[in-house]
Structure 1
Amino acid sequence: MARTDRRQRGANRGTQNASAADPTIVIGIDFGTTFSGVAWARSSRPEQINIITSWKSRFNFNSDKEKVPTVISREEKEGAPLWGYVAPLGSASLQWFKLCLLDKEDIPEYQRRSEHLRTAIKSLKKSNTHVVDVISDYLRELWQYTISCIERAEGASIVEVSAFKVVVTLPAIWPAYAQFRMKEAIEKAGILNIRGVFDTELEFISEPEAAALAALQDLSDRADMVPGDHFVVCDAGGGTVDVITYTIVSKTPMRVKESVRGDGKLCGATFVDERFRDLLRQKIPLSTWERLGEDGIARLMNNEWENGIKPQFSNDGRKWSIQAPVSSRKRDHEQYISSDISIHNHEIVNVFQPITSQVVELVAAQVNEVKRRYKKQPKFVILVGGFGRCHYLYNCLVESLRGKIEILQSSGARPWTAVCRGAAIRGLEQSDGATESAICSRIARASYGTMCNVIPWSEKDHSIQDREWCPIARVYMAADQASWFLRIGETITVGKSIELGFSQDFESPASEIVTNLIYSNSFQPSERCDETVKELCQLRWSRIPKFDDLPTWMNNKGRVIRRLSYVIKMTSNGVSLDFEISHDDKIVASKNVAADYSESGTAAHRHAAQLGEDNSGTYVPPGKGLGGWDDEFSDE
């Protein structure tokens, strides 16, 4: 059967990449739901990874922390926005907006009711702002501050002549479109602006994989780890919790492969914070709560919870006491006095338990899958991320696994900075041409492919719904079929490419050629582009072969048809997917071609957008104002 490409579109300038001999500064950015972190290193000193600290702050005890709040205030009419620890607490600032990158249908229904998420969406609507623009504003400030810190440490002259390699992390459970939205925010933030001798290179890496790269440094000298052993990395952050399992391939050098397909949920510390806020609401009189307002409540949460109970709690029976203002009548007027509010141990347990139980379920599922597939247990579960520092979460995992598997939880800032450090490590791997990645292979979390037509249509192999007359070939074809490069659950070796051949027929020259790339999260990816198949991106060819040079054939009406044959090559690199399209061994489209992401609709819905009989039509997806949250969002 012949496979013909259906529709297509996109284009982008190339970058001048630095060679291994050129000075390179690698910058790892962990853009988080509640906190963000940055690590950086020079390629000439890969062993010295630096963490950005010394943040500007309006409160004590925050400036030297290894991360900065993912908070920004757009209230300022003039000058730069206030962000991080300087941003005002409460309603004057935007928070938790990272979650708004996801379309509504990709957030579990019970979490759509999250007060934090609802507040973020309402703030975006009130300001009539797209989430991509808010993220770009925040990243711009974070980037400018990062560069100023690097210049202070290394000197502006070194920074000027160095290439930049930027590695940005994303939750592994996020759908593919989120990467395109993040890239747009990064570009708008000016991070990829032309500078000096070299352009800035950008790569994405999944958060748990970045955490694993950081953890590997700590495992390399362990005598109790041998090839064939498994370990689970649990990256528990503010919004998402990702788990991933690796097998040791070799120790010198340290090489691992993903052995169980990773998993994750939206069950991070943000949802614990929300439950504590609800507990405070029950403890504080309603009149006082209303008088405090969002600013006062945010200050109370920061002082008593974020920097008080939350990092210390270990379910040791302790009774907690916090100071909160309460109103009282004194003679003829009302005044506020500070009052100690008691919070019992079991109340804090009730705050944590519904969220930590979801994390325990994720880890247990990975452990059980290792036992099922390999007939052995993992050696360790490694906790990283901000939530990964939680003493209570550690205790829950120890109790759940009943001491059969060790839980490793580093002290200090190492768990909190694991993701940004791992992002820097990935960039350093690729800045040194002699260094191979420590991760040899990965397991696909989704299926990736391209939309195509198959000629001829077969009653045995195809659905009657897809039977469509092809006026060029003069036969019935199976329209809008899915041709998969990689199926969910399959293993792909790092650096290994997958190639598929296609052809497209023309009666007249085409003004443009566009290729549709698709993905599916279904465990059994469909062979046709049904509702489970979604658009990944569209690539417009940068060079169209000469029409008169194409080989010919004649259909049954005696019309001369030109056939364009080409190869699509896909290379998977964790979160990133690199595509190359070649004709006659010449690349006509590649990863440097601009990708226009679709914010809505499935491949099946796009069938109605076809323009013209030669399949060279294009489709422009409708935009959405809030990164996938439609205008019908309400307070239901």
Structure 2
Amino acid sequence: MSENSSEPFPSHSRSSSLLNSSSPFMNLQNLPQTAQYNVENTSNKDIRVVVGVDFGTTFSGFAYAYKSNPSEVVTNDVWPGQTGQFKTNTALLYDDSFSVIEWGYPALAQEPQKKSKGANKIRELMKPVELFKLYLGNLDPDEEPPLPEGLDWRKAITDYLRCLNKLIGETITTRWPGLHFPSNVLFVMAVPAEWTDESKGLLRKLAYDAGMLEELNSGNLEFTTEPEAAAIHCIRILNEHALTVGAPFMIVDCGGGTVDLTTRAVLPDRRLSEITIRAGDFCGSSFVDKNFLKYVAKKVGIEAMISLRDNNYGQLQYLVQQFCSRIKHSFNGNPDEYMTKDIDLERTCPAIMKYVTGDALKKMEEDEWLLELDFETVRAMFDPVIEKILHMISHQLSACGGNCMAIFMVGGFSENHYLTWRVRHAFGRFVPTIAVPKHPIAAVCRGALQYGLYMSTIETRVLKWTYGTDSFRPWTPADPPERRTPTGFITVFRPIAHRGTQVAVNQRFTYEATPILRDQSMMTFNVYVTPFHNAYFCDDYGVKLLGRLSVQLPPLPIEYQQNRVIDFSLCFGKMEITAIATNRQTGEVYQSSFDLDI
């Protein structure tokens, strides 16, 4: 960055202070364009209905309530093609032009029909898609789920949210015909704990594209983490387990893609305080399915599985469905209660027979295309996934000094008895209560709704990242010579809020900054984030640009130049972050509002 008064400059740090604020939150996200905006009014005075949304990897659901009657909570159980279920499948069915034919449960692949070749051929031309939410996480490329050639995962997420939003709108306006949708609705979306600010910002953009928001940075969308939402939902059962004020408890949210953990303590007035850094990893139930497919690949050959995936994905999806419904869901880890089961590949995915060659073909023909799944084989599919979950729980217990009075397991995977048995077996000696609340699959969407109705429920959060900005200071001989600017300055990372800090809701971290040149007409604050406790330079390993905020500096007489002070703040507490800059001389307030570089 050149030192020219016509260019935006980072600030020159003077001092720091800690202030409190009730400012609303807006979006601060991925590599934005430099921009400047006055603070917008983001009050939710027109909100009449709150909707908690659990957009999950394998299943999605929502709950809603009228804001003035929060005691009447409705969890949706009417979906395309099914009723009585709290969630529907996070799945889409496309035609050849990638127009959505079906979504949810009807989008799942059907059993191939031997006598209806024409129908099978038509079905094979359709493109079932699932697991696309995983692309918002930081997965390794080889872990990313397959998508049909030519389909961008952002389109899949947008299409699914558009379908979900249409159902939400129809459901709510049927109940309250006078409601303006979506302007009278506050959406609260629960996201995995390990998601970055970039992921949340991208989800906001895709929700906007799907029609859930009338403006990108609308206050009609809030975020909470999945374990936080589950913790809010579990407040109502604390008395059942004799947990008193101050008692720490852990939420383990076991979903299809991720498992998220948070450790909380109950404060007076049924509010929650976060006492450890929330954690998450990709070890949900879909990774058991992935281990099943690896087992199939050992039998038929990896090349055959790749061909099946690329050319007959619907049959591959149906094969997984059969594994889940017949084996995975009921597996409880007790060898005395398990009976070896066979899966007939000729019936479930006949297309694979034309891809198998060599010794694998000979062996499968000898076995009459039957896969024999005995107890040890199935347990080997579960154990690597469960071991990761146990490791995460152990790490959380260590982080809170082993002081945990209860573990509540929620999410669809928590209904698997083998998983819950392993957790109780590993930690039952140290944690008095390990329980699965009623309807654990609906815990996240219901908790997200409660968060939207009573945002004061969350008293504190623990920062997962260190946030800072770039700051000029005079160069010293101890600094790297190549970083010295022509005017004798050096740009360094200035931490504003450190990882592991417990922050109150709507708490501001503020410092004073001044321009480095007398005739400077603009100051730019580049906001960075790092997973480490601190950094020295803004290009250190792990440091990532999150966004930038520019502030206009009107000309002032020379005698007042030294008094041009900007109060720069980062405001935390909700799941999005606000950068705010206040010019003391003019009283102008600037707040971040960024476009995503996607």
Cross-structure match for 1:17: 43
Structure possessing the higher relative contact order (Cα contacts under 8 Å, 6 or more residues apart): 2
Cross-structure match for 2:22: none
Instruction: Indicate the SS of the match to 1:150.
Output: helix
Shift of 1:167: 1.1
- Output one character per residue of 1:530-554: Cα deviation in whole Å (capped at 9) or x when no partner: 232111112344xx3432468645x
Contact 1:214 1:425 in 2 (8 A): yes
Please, which of 80, 98, 107 is the counterpart of residue 56 of structure 1?
80
Q: How does 1:36-435 map to 2 (within 5 A)?
A: 36-57=60-81, 62-75=82-95, 77=97, 80-89=100-109, 92-102=127-137, 106-107=138-139, 112-114=141-143, 117-120=144-147, 123=148, 126-127=149-150, 129=152, 131-152=153-174, 154-159=175-180, 163-193=184-214, 201-219=220-238, 221-222=239-240, 224-250=242-268, 253-282=269-298, 293-302=312-321, 304-317=322-335, 318-326=338-346, 341-371=371-401, 377-406=403-432, 408-410=434-436, 414-430=439-455
Contact 1:166 1:200 in 2 (8 A): no
Which residue type is aligned with residue 67 of structure 1? K
CA distance in structure 2 between the partners assigned to 1:596 and 1:288 by the alignment = 43
Shift of 1:282: 4.7
Shift of 1:212: 1.0
CA distance in structure 2 between the partners assigned to 1:34 and 1:161 by the alignment = 25
Cross-structure match for 2:514: 503
- TM-score norm. by structure 2 comes to 0.80
CA distance in structure 1 between the partners assigned to 2:69 and 2:276 by the alignment = 34
- Output one character per residue of 1:615-635: Cα deviation in whole Å (capped at 9) or x when no partner: xxxxxxxx5xxxxxxxxxxxx
CA distance in structure 1 between the partners assigned to 2:182 and 2:467 by the alignment = 39
Contact 2:572 2:578 in 1 (8 A): yes
Distance 1:188 1:81, change over 3 A: farther
CA distance in structure 2 between the partners assigned to 1:172 and 1:136 by the alignment = 21
- Output one character per residue of 1:170-225: Cα deviation in whole Å (capped at 9) or x when no partner: 21212221122111111111111169xxx761111111111111111221x24621
Contact 1:210 1:426 in 2 (8 A): yes
User: Which stretches of structure 1, 4 residues or more, deviate above 6 A after TM superposition?
Assistant: 284-292, 337-340
- TM-score norm. by structure 1 comes to 0.76
* Alignment coverage as a number of residue pairs: 534
- Output one character per residue of 1:72-101: Cα deviation in whole Å (capped at 9) or x when no partner: 234264965532223253881332222222
CA distance in structure 2 between the partners assigned to 1:185 and 1:97 by the alignment = 13
Cross-structure match for 1:466: 483
Instruction: Indicate the SS of the match to 2:486.
Output: strand
Where do 5+ consecutive residues of structure 2 fail to align? 1-10, 16-31, 110-123, 354-364
Distance 1:406 1:326, change over 3 A: farther
Which residue type is aligned with residue 262 of structure 1? R
Instruction: Indicate the SS of the match to 2:79.
Output: coil
Contact 1:323 1:338 in 2 (8 A): no
Contact 1:447 1:488 in 2 (8 A): yes
Instruction: Indicate the SS of the match to 1:157.
Output: coil
Contact 1:9 1:516 in 2 (8 A): no
Contact 1:234 1:241 in 2 (8 A): yes
Contact 1:262 1:445 in 2 (8 A): yes
Shift of 1:420: 1.4
CA distance in structure 2 between the partners assigned to 1:81 and 1:15 by the alignment = 39
CA distance in structure 2 between the partners assigned to 1:551 and 1:270 by the alignment = 66
Asked if 1:546 corresponds to 2:575, the answer is: no
Contact 1:446 1:520 in 2 (8 A): yes
Contact 1:15 1:201 in 2 (8 A): no
Shift of 1:322: 4.2
Please, which of 6, 10, 13 is the counterpart of residue 3 of structure 1?
13
Higher mean C-alpha deviation, range 350-359 or range 173-182: 173-182
Overall identity of the aligned pairs, in %: 21
Asked if 1:532 corresponds to 2:542, the answer is: yes
Shift of 1:155: 2.9
- Output one character per residue of 1:119-152: Cα deviation in whole Å (capped at 9) or x when no partner: 14xx3xx3163x3333222211111111111223
Cross-structure match for 2:587: 586
CA distance in structure 1 between the partners assigned to 2:56 and 2:98 by the alignment = 27
